[in-house]
Amino acid sequence: MLPPVCKVRVKPMLLGWALIGLLYVFIVYLPILVYGVNAARIMNFPLMTSLDSVNITWSIFDRVSLFYAVALLAFVMTISSFALWSCGLLLHKLVPVCKETYIRGGLSLIVYVAAMLIPTWERYVEIFSSDTWLRLAIFVVIPIAVYLCGKRIERQGRKQVGLK
């Protein structure tokens, strides 16, 4: 929708998404392969349990799960900081009188207070699973809407130039 500031290369992005997709497949199917479907469904953290059950004495990491936890923490912090930055940027576009740093601080405070209001793990799972269909719809609808808007803008541009 906005003109690009720099040239976007699709091939490296697709390669990155393919690697992340393989990581997600590994995270989902490793516990199922180790414990089976029914046992993996009962556990709270089946990936951590399956990584702990493998005895790797030759590894540099004494506990592979510790390495996984640090990597997961870095990934979550990266995703969270990007989400905070993008939400702050969008809110700043909507309300330009507020400074972006104040918006980010306010968003951080709102997220922290909302997280502290969740009393138990079961309530968290209930909240997380209640909006699954909404998130799935967003993942499907937004790319389709962007594609259709881009096609419409491209068609309007061709009409102005006099092309087909």
pLDDT of residue 113: 95
Kindly state whether residue 1 falls inside one of the protein's structural domains. no
Same domain, 16 and 47: yes
- Please state whether the predicted TM-score (pTM) of the whole model is above 0.75: no
Kindly state whether residue 103 falls inside one of the protein's structural domains. yes
Q: Percent of the chain at pLDDT above 70? A: 77
Same domain, 90 and 114: yes
Domain total of the chain: 3
pLDDT of residue 47: 66
pLDDT-derived band at 5 (thresholds 50, 70, 90) equals: low
pLDDT of residue 72: 83
Does residue 161 or residue 135 have the better pLDDT? Answer: 135
State the residue range of the domain holding 152. Answer: 131-164
pLDDT of residue 153: 86
What's the start-to-end Cα distance of the chain, in Å?
21
Same domain, 42 and 89: no
- Tens-place pLDDT, residues 36-94: 777 767 776 666 666 666 665 555 555 666 777 778 888 888 998 999 999 999 899 88
Kindly state whether residue 102 falls inside one of the protein's structural domains. yes
Same domain, 64 and 98: yes
CA-based angle 44:26:138, to the nearest 5? 75
pLDDT-derived band at 144 (thresholds 50, 70, 90) equals: very high
Kindly state whether residue 29 falls inside one of the protein's structural domains. yes
Q: What is the chain's length?
A: 164
Q: Where are the alpha helices (H) located in the chain, listed in sequence order?
A: 10-35, 37-42, 46-53, 64-94, 100-116, 121-130, 132-161
Same domain, 78 and 114: yes
Cα Rg of the chain, angstroms:
22
Q: Counting beta carbons within 10 angstroms of the beta carbon of residue 31, is it exposed (0 to 12), middle (13 to 18) or buried (19 or more)? A: buried
pLDDT-derived band at 102 (thresholds 50, 70, 90) equals: very high
pLDDT of residue 1: 54
Q: Going by C-beta distance under 8 Å and a sequence separation of 6 or more, which residues neighbour residue 48?
A: 65, 68, 69
- CA proximity to 87, closest of 104, 66, 74, 110: 104
Report the C-alpha gap between 79 and 72 in whole angstroms.
Answer: 10
Kindly state whether residue 16 falls inside one of the protein's structural domains. yes
pLDDT of residue 135: 86
